[in-house]
Structure 1
């Protein structure tokens, strides 16, 4: 079922993280952030919404990099229930798409919870001080191809942020597959032995 992102909490400070990338090295937000802005996007390997936008996301990430805005992708899906989203398959995905940005694994799902991410793709656009200025979509496309003249909403928003430090007043929610959260661990009382009365 498709879900949409909530209204942005403008000015919210980005939670820090240190996660393992598909290059098998650990990377922190501080290390990967851009001088003029940073996009943190939650994606996964198998989501049709993500697969549909990848060519345009790669195009815009490259263009934003030239403006001093870096892109970081994070996969937080439960790979036990969805093995196609495993770390080994993340490496395959990154190679197949020749990703121009770091692709990190949130294996504990702690970072996705900290960001209150809800879907794939879910975009967070931060200014140079890592304060949220954009929580919108890449563009109007979903799972189908879009016309070449489709407005590049994320790119335009981040360009505005890079130059002026603030994003657009009107932001359209991103839509995609829900993040595949792990089921809560079995209740402790399953292993609890009731004491004698």
Structure 2
């Protein structure tokens, strides 16, 4: 299990435009989230770091979607080399975890490159004007630690964005498996 940190791109960066299919083949466009803050999470099915937070992330998404945050997850792993990350397995993961957000397939990996996503999980929170307000970890928990999964870092950032405030600029990179590039 290799440990890869997220790239801490500049706060204030614009939301990259994207149009991707979900696990069922329905297209989702970043323009669909106009006027709302949006969280883009790069996740996958097989990474132990994602598995460690998956249930808590599903709960976070339900809670914050009800507060007005758009949530979308993108799987950019090469699923031909890693079949556990295939769209069919993504559908199973959606059902098993109760994901209420769009879980998109980035087969070309172009969207991950545009975001400069590096690992799974990798979180990018954009404000109402679709400017990057937070990038970093869900929380300080890791599969090898006793630290409970709370989502406290992302929760604090999302609470600030939803209240039209800037989150703290001191942000900790996410850590996880590297994106499985072709």
TM-score category, normalised to shorter length: over 0.9
SS class of match (1:135)? strand
Q: CA RMSD in A?
A: 1.6
Unaligned runs of 5+ in 2: none
**2:92 aligned partner:** 92
TM score, norm. by length of structure 2? 0.93
**1:191 aligned partner:** none
In 2, the alpha carbon distance for the partners of 1:151 and 1:72 equals 16
SS class of match (1:164)? coil
Moved more, 132-141 or 57-66: 57-66
**2:22 aligned partner:** 21
TM score, norm. by length of structure 1? 0.86
Q: Judge conservation of contact 1:74–1:105 (CA < 8 Å) in 2.
A: yes
Question: Moved runs in structure 1, 4+ residues, more than 4 A?
Answer: none
Number of residue equivalences: 180
Cα displacement string for residues 58-101 of structure 1 (whole angstroms, at most 9, x for unaligned residues): 11112211221111000000112111111111111111111011
In 2, the alpha carbon distance for the partners of 1:165 and 1:28 equals 26
1:84-163 alignment runs, 5 A limit: 84-144=84-144, 146-147=147-148, 150=150, 152-163=152-163
Aligned-residue offset at 1:8: 3.5
Aligned-residue offset at 1:23: 3.3
